[in-house]
Structure 1
């Protein structure tokens, strides 16, 4: 092979390498943009409205100071029901004094009123069981009673004006409500507040002394 032929081949080889290098550096064609599927937010679960009762024109009571209506949990419950519990060996105790159970008045502005009775009736405070009955009572007056009722209204309780008292009730689930659908209920008089887990259990309170 002559020197001129060799130079020609070298030139061709160099040109081919340059072409390959330029091809490697050339930008690739953009792929079609991918679309990310988004999931529409789930619709909110349907909320069953609470039963409504048209309140009577009874004014919201403004509590006044008074002597405690009950001294012990034996005084709180009706005599007939207390006698029935005694026959089956049940005792009563004030869970508020135990300091380990929730009081239904703990959520009141400023906490539970002094002198509250968060009563339990069952086999005893040291027996691990949920088979017991509960009632709660506390003296409350003036602005404290007003603030407590405003807090209950803000929490979703419905106001019912019944027999000269003001009740704040929450709709209960099946098995935990009365025939009208009401569960947990607070009842305010002019001097105190009562609590039950089911509204019709208010009947088990003994008349104040």
Structure 2
């Protein structure tokens, strides 16, 4: 299993996240998007029955132009490259199924076989795929939370190797025809695809 960023890398990601939060055009700030029931996920948390956020009957179109350099802010890419980090493209796997048109990126000193990495992803997803994935993840002990941005599903803090400041590890965000992924909930704010 891989581990995310060093403290320097975390500081860079958090700084980029803060910059995004202050310039974002969305009406909700990151603090407003935080769950009201619990700020730290627990393997014992009960989750409401899934109710799909997507309203369309199909997934978003494939991300033909999505690359590891375009799904996150250019400033973050520049920060990673300044650290000597490179990216590696992987298929977007959700619940054991590869989502066509999706992309998952691993950033780090990949030539050095380090476990200090950062992961981001985006994929088109149908409402049926989203509901099935949410149900499976919750059955596996993940926590599901509804928010204005969509539905967050995050791994249990009890089993996460690494968590952000609020106790969130690997996290998916399900929206209208798409799903985003990052290795923490705070980092998922950096996934800016598709571009408006």
What TM-score, normalized by structure 2, do the two folds share?
Answer: 0.64
Task: Tell me the matched-pair count.
Answer: 151
Match of 1:186 in 2: 172
Tell me how far 1:175 sits from its aligned partner: 7.5
Match of 2:119 in 1: 134
**2-structure distance, mates of 1:140, 1:93:** 22
TM-score w.r.t. length of structure 1:
0.61
Shift of 1:143: 1.5
**Structure-1 residue corresponding to 2:191:** 205
Q: Which has the higher contact order (CA 8 A, sep 6+)?
A: 2
| Equivalent residue, structure 1, for 2:141 | 156
2:122–2:180 CA contact under 8 A, matched in 1: yes
Q: Which residue of 102, 105, 128 corresponds with 1:119?
A: 105
- RMSD across aligned positions (CA): 3.0
In structure 2, what is the Cα distance between the partners aligned to 1:166 and 1:133?
A: 22
Rounded to whole Å, the distance in 2 between the matches of 1:164 and 1:132 is 26
User: Can you list the C-alpha shifts for 1:21-75, whole angstroms capped at 9, x where unaligned?
Assistant: xxxxxxxxxxxxxxxxxxxxxxxxxxx95475987xx952135332235521111
Alignment equivalent of 2:156, drawn from 171, 175, 178: 171
Identify unmatched segments of 5+ residues in structure 2. Answer: 1-40
Residue matched to 2:14? none
Contact 1:78–1:207 (Cα < 8 Å) also in 2: no
Shift of 1:200: 1.4
> For residue 13 of structure 1, what is the aligned residue in structure 2?
none
Task: Note the alpha carbon deviations across 1:147-182, whole angstroms, 9 max, x for none.
Answer: 111211211211111124001112325872223322
Q: Structure 1 stretches of 5 or more lacking a match?
A: 1-47, 97-102
Aligned equivalents of 1:80, 1:53: Cα separation in 2: 38
